[in-house]
Structure 1
Amino acid sequence: MSAISTRGKMWFTVYRGSFTTTVFLDFLRRLVGQFDWKIHLVVDRHPVHRSKAVGEWPAEHENRTTLHLLPAYAPETNPDELVNADLKRALLPTCRARNAEEPADEVRRFFHRRQNQPRIVRGYFRAPHVRYILDAQKP
């Protein structure tokens, strides 16, 4: 799971098993803890993002975060989907897992590389079908 900013920053976590409310809320807690200001997260309409617990979380942390839901069935508006496509292009041809840990290690390496490539991360927002305004000012 990853979060990206228009300034080329990337945060991520690699988890095993299913994407659950607990996994997402743990990621939110870690992410929000890295900022001294309120952050706005744009998320798709995955069932986890629409769960009761996730819906209650921003209300309990209203001075720290706001969640914005993308339109239903519109993955082309989500620049993080381009991160996923990039990950698959980078790993699928080369990753030949010999054990259960190797794929997770490869994913971590990919994300660590991208964290050091802000130009590429900013590029996810510049795709013609992603409608975001790049803002160079700090909030």
Structure 2
Amino acid sequence: MTHAKREKAEIDFWDASGFRADAVQGRTWAVKGVTLVVAVPGQRQSISAASAVNSKGGFWFAVYSGGMNGELFVALLKRMMKGRRRPIHLVLDGLPAHKTRGVRDDVDSLKGRLTLHFLPGDAPDLNPDELVWSYNKRTGVARSPLRSGEKLADRVHDQLSDIAARPELVRSFFRHQVSPIFLTYA
């Protein structure tokens, strides 16, 4: 991380997650003795999303269909890098799609504008971007089922756009009890 400071680079944390329309809907209440029935959508939509956060409140995201592979990861990295002037040090998990030959070749072709740093496999709590998904699932799709005709991709995109518009919320993910160490590198 001292190398990133010397380069005046941004330090971003990356993660991806999946969403389902028929996921658990959270909790609710009912009058004692009355069985509560919660309406859930009959649709089985699923969508994936990736995001990158930094301790200054920066937030980038993309919504996509299917699982992550090396080719998709390279395409998402290119979208994330577009318009960025400063070098980026990207901290991410060790998903095999992040370590393919195509990814390595693409990162090498950027000549130092992007550097990847991999977290240990047993340490998702060191990635503040994990809290984006926790927040999004706890306050979004899980709080209210999709309405008839509503698309899960649109809902997830809107929720992530709301997070992007709130840099103070993004910064709060870095104040979580397990990740204050990264504030020193901001």
Whether TM-score is above 0.5 comes out as: yes
Unaligned runs of 5+ in 1: none
Give the Cα–Cα distance (whole angstroms) in 1 for the partners of residues 100 and 147 of structure 2.
33
Secondary structure of 1:2's aligned partner: strand
**Paired amino acid for 1:37:** R
TM-score, scaled relative to structure 1? 0.88
Moved over 2 A (4+): 95-99
Deviations 1:90-110 (A, max 9, x none): 2212132645x6111111011
Give the Cα–Cα distance (whole angstroms) in 2 for the partners of residues 97 and 16 of structure 1.
20
Distance 1:102 1:64, change over 3 A: same
Give the Cα–Cα distance (whole angstroms) in 2 for the partners of residues 134 and 44 of structure 1.
20
Which residue number corresponds to residue 70 of structure 2? 21
1:116 correspondence with 2:165: yes
Unaligned runs of 5+ in 2: 1-49
Distance 1:60 1:117, change over 3 A: same
1:45 correspondence with 2:109: no
Mapped contact 1:95–1:103 kept (Cα < 8 A): no
Give the Cα–Cα distance (whole angstroms) in 2 for the partners of residues 66 and 134 of structure 1.
19
Distance 1:97 1:23, change over 3 A: farther
Percent of residue pairs bearing the same amino acid type: 33
**Paired amino acid for 1:94:** S
Q: Give 1:123 shift.
A: 0.7
- Equivalent runs, 1:1-139 vs 2, <5 Å: 1-90=50-139, 91-96=141-146, 98=148, 102-130=151-179, 131-133=181-183
Q: Which moved more, 1:14-23 or 1:55-64?
A: 55-64
Give the Cα–Cα distance (whole angstroms) in 1 for the partners of residues 100 and 145 of structure 2.
34
**Paired amino acid for 2:182:** Y
Mapped contact 2:70–2:99 kept (Cα < 8 A): no
**Paired amino acid for 2:155:** E
Mapped contact 1:7–1:118 kept (Cα < 8 A): yes
Secondary structure of 1:12's aligned partner: strand
TM-score, scaled relative to structure 2? 0.67
Mapped contact 2:74–2:103 kept (Cα < 8 A): yes
Q: Give 1:52 shift.
A: 2.0
Mapped contact 1:21–1:53 kept (Cα < 8 A): yes
